[in-house]
Amino acid sequence: MSEPVAVTGMGVLTPAGSGERALWERLCQGRSTAASDPALKGMPVDFSCRVPGFDPAGVKSIAWRTNRFIQLAVVAARMAVADAALTPKRWDSRRIGVVLGVGASSMEHWPGETEKLLQGRLRAVSPLALPRSIPNMAAGEVALDLGATGPNLAVSTACASGASALGVAKDLLAADRCDVVLAGGAEAPRASEMVALCFSRMSVLSRRCQDPERASRPFDADRDGFVLGEGAAVLVLEKAGHARTRRAGVRAWLAGYGASADAHHPTTPDPRGKGAAAAIDAALAEAGLRTGDIDHVNAHGSSTDFNDLFEARTLSRVFDRPPPVTANKGCLGHGIGAAGAIEAACSVLTLQHQLIPPVANFTRPDPRIDLDIVAGTPRPHGVEAVLSNSFGFGGQNAVLVLTRA
C-alpha cells in the first residue's frame, strides 16, 4: 500500500464544453452531446461528440505547428495548473513531470501530405507533418508551455491511455522522481476522416445516423456501438507533503492504480474477465481497500454489445453486490486516449458533489446484465471511494481508485 496522491487541480475540455462546470451540468442532465459532424460528411458514420466552440486562437503561438489533440492538451493543462494555484516556474521545474495518454494519435493532415507524395511533389511535404502528429508531442508541448523539465512521457494503451497515464504518474510520485505531475489524456479522433473511417470499418461505431443523440447508450439493451468523441483532461497530481507545504487544496486522492493485459485477442476483451479483474484487484490492493469499501463504479461502458456485457459480468464476479454504476460515454462519447482521464475527472466531481450522474440513454435494461445502473436523474449517494475502469484494444486494462478528500 503506497501513500495516496493528492489531486490538487483539474482542467477539462469535453463535448459538454470548456471547464468542469459545463461538464458536470451536462452529466447530471443525462443528455448526450452527439450530433452531426461536418468534418465527417460523407463518411458511413457522420456524427460524433465534439468539443464545442474550441478556438485554436487560444493557443495561437503553437497552433501553426500542432494538431487539435495537442492544442486541447495544452489548454487543459493550463486550466489544471490555474485550478491548482500552481506556478511551475516558482518551484523546481526538474521535479515537475508531465504524463499524457494518447491512443490513436493524429492523422488529420496525413491525407493531404500523402497526396503530395503520390504526385511526386516531395519537397511540398510539410516538415511539420510528423512532429504535429506523433503521440508524445502532447506531453512535449505541455512541458514547453509550462516550463516543466521533469520526466516527460507519452502513454499509449489505446482506450485505456488516459487512465494509464494517471497510474504512471502516480508511480513517478511514489518513486520520488517528481513532486508534481500533470497527468491525463488528449485525443481528437473525429478530426481525422481516416481514423473515423477505420473505427467504422471495424463495426464498433453506432450506426444511428438519423438519431445521433440516442446513439451512445452504455449497458442499454438497444446499444449498437460507441460514438467517437474528443477532448482532454489534465489532473495535477501531487505528493501529499508537497501539497501541504504550499497549502494547496486537495480535491480528491488517487489512492490506487492497477494494470494488466488480457493476452487474449487484439481487439476483443477476454470474456472471462480475468485481466480486468486482476487490474481491479491490484488497484484495490494498492489503495488498501476491499470491494465492500467501493461506493460507486464509473464504468468503461463503451456502448458496444460485447464490451459492456464483459464488463458487467466482471463486476458481478468481483463484487458480491456491485455498487451503483454510471458510464460517462453515454453523454460524452468515446474520447479514446482521453476517455480514462476525463472519467477520472468526472469521478472527482462525484466525490465532491456526493451525487452520481445518470447513464445517458439508458432506457431499456439488458436482461443479461445484473448491475445497479444509475439512470434518468442523478442519484444522491454517500461516495467515499470510486472505482474507475478503462479498457482498450490490445487487452489493455487500467483501473483507478479515487477517494474523497
- Residue type at position 193: E
pLDDT for res 111: 85
Please state, in angstroms and rounded to a whole number, the distance separating the CA atoms of residues 403 and 405: 7
| Nearest in space to 333 (alpha carbons), one of 183, 220, 215, 219 | 215
Catalytic annotation, pick one of 49, 178, 296, 300: 300
Among the listed residues 49, 296, 331, 334, the single catalytic one is 334
How many whole angstroms from its chain centre is CA 117? 35
Q: Which of 49, 159, 178, 331 is catalytic?
A: 159
CB 355 within 8 A of CB 215: no
- Dig out the grid coordinates for 86 from the structure: 500552481
pLDDT reported for residue 1: 55
Element (H, E) at 193: helix 193-201
Q: Which domains does the chain have, with CATH numbers?
A: 5-404 (3.40.47.10)
From residue 57, alpha-carbon distances to 53, 129, 152, 301, 351 in Å are 11, 20, 25, 34, 34
The residue ranges of the chain whose pLDDT is under 50 are: none
* Cell numbers 468534418: residue: 39
The confidence score (pLDDT) of residue 97 equals 98
pLDDT of residue 362: 98
* AA letter at 74: V
Residue 109 is among the residues annotated as catalytic for this protein: no
Residues 6+ apart with CB under 8 A from 61: none
Is there a catalytic annotation at residue 353? no
Task: Report helix, strand or coil for 74.
Answer: helix
Distance CA 378, CA 76 (A): 26
- For cell 490492493, the residue is 285
For position 2, what pLDDT does the model report?
61
At 267, list the grid cell.
481487439
pTM: 0.97
296 counts as catalytic: no
User: Among the residues of 251-366, which ranges form H helices?
Assistant: 274-287, 305-318, 329-332, 339-353
- Strands 35-36 and 47-48: what pairing? antiparallel
